[in-house]
Amino acid sequence: MTIASIQTGSPRRGELRSASPAIRADLPVEPDVTGFYEGTTGSIQYVVADPLTRKAAVIDPVLDFDPRSGSTRTTSADRLLKHIENNGLTLEWILDTHPHADHLSAAGYLKDITGAATGIGERVTEVQRLWKQIYNLPDTVPTDGSQWDHLFADGERSKIGEMEARVLLSPGHTLASVTYVIGNAAFVHDTLFMPDSGTARADFPGGDARQLWRSIQRILQLPNETRLFTGHDYRPDRRPARWEGTVALQKANNPHLQNSDEANFVKLRTERDRSLPMPSLILPALQVNLAGGRLPAPEADGRRYLKIPLDAFPDASWGDLV
């Protein structure tokens, strides 16, 4: 293997055993990333694997939920388990980038099956406190993040197999959002979408368009070739779902970043968000997701119930209905 091919090819560590240690140390790890598109909510779930050790993490798994019937299913999460099994992977981590408002997290389900550790950004405790009031939850419900095995601080480093995972605090969409940077891949979830879809909304409780701009700038400081994996794709003009870009691609093509600055972005984002109705699953989802992806405990009849606060958001847009 020549040095030129190493520099341009971004090869995996497993292919570099004959390279000199000095060269290897400079190369970014290239994790195996498999995205699983969940079409109902436009979410992408990821399995990120260390090609060398076959240890893996799941990022942002979805628990299927039909609000019309109140049914839950594990079809989407089971796809991840199948992939893990078929590829001989060992699941070490079940990670969420933030408490999602558009889908229920399958973190609790996957933990029960695999025993892998769950993790989320440490500021999730602030979101827990915020929504505890909105749901009027009893004092006994903890808001210390104890529903997860680990809470990640900004800049914290950890391992998936032998790959280093670094956490970048990326608030704006929510105040607890984080980006997981794993080798040459970054999981940016609701910050940047694919360039033809712009950026994520920043109007949920705890959201902040200015913070989102700053988080995006931080992500764009990663090397240009860094692979960026978004958490949603809504398939504009019904094109096939896509979820992988690069820092360079976003800089060149994302219209929300072109000829923009913080003030312009905040104006654009705020005006756009004002017209958006709340996500249809926000009230079912957050009470589950702030409990670490755990459904409420069954009541005396053995059935689980979700709690929906009425008129808690009187100023929310009804979208096309009004």
Tell me which residues touch Fe ion (CB under 5 A): 100, 190
Q: How far is the CB of 178 from Fe ion (least distance, A)?
A: 12
Please identify which residue in the block is written with the tokens 């958001």: 313
Q: How far is the CB of 201 from Fe ion (least distance, A)?
A: 8
Give, in degrees to the nearest 5, the angle at Cα 193 between 188 and 198.
135
Nearest-angstrom CA–CA distance, 232 and 292: 20
Q: How far is the CB of 138 from Fe ion (least distance, A)?
A: 26
Nearest-angstrom CA–CA distance, 231 and 224: 20
Smallest CA-to-CA distance from 180 within 191, 169, 194 is with 169
Among all residues, whose Cβ is closest to Fe ion? 190
Q: How far is the CB of 64 from Fe ion (least distance, A)?
A: 17
Tokens standing for 315?
């100023």
Nearer to Fe ion (CB atom), residue 19 or residue 209 = 209
Q: How far is the CB of 203 from Fe ion (least distance, A)?
A: 12
Tokens standing for 18?
């004959």
Nearer to Fe ion (CB atom), residue 54 or residue 210 = 210
Q: How far is the CB of 184 from Fe ion (least distance, A)?
A: 24
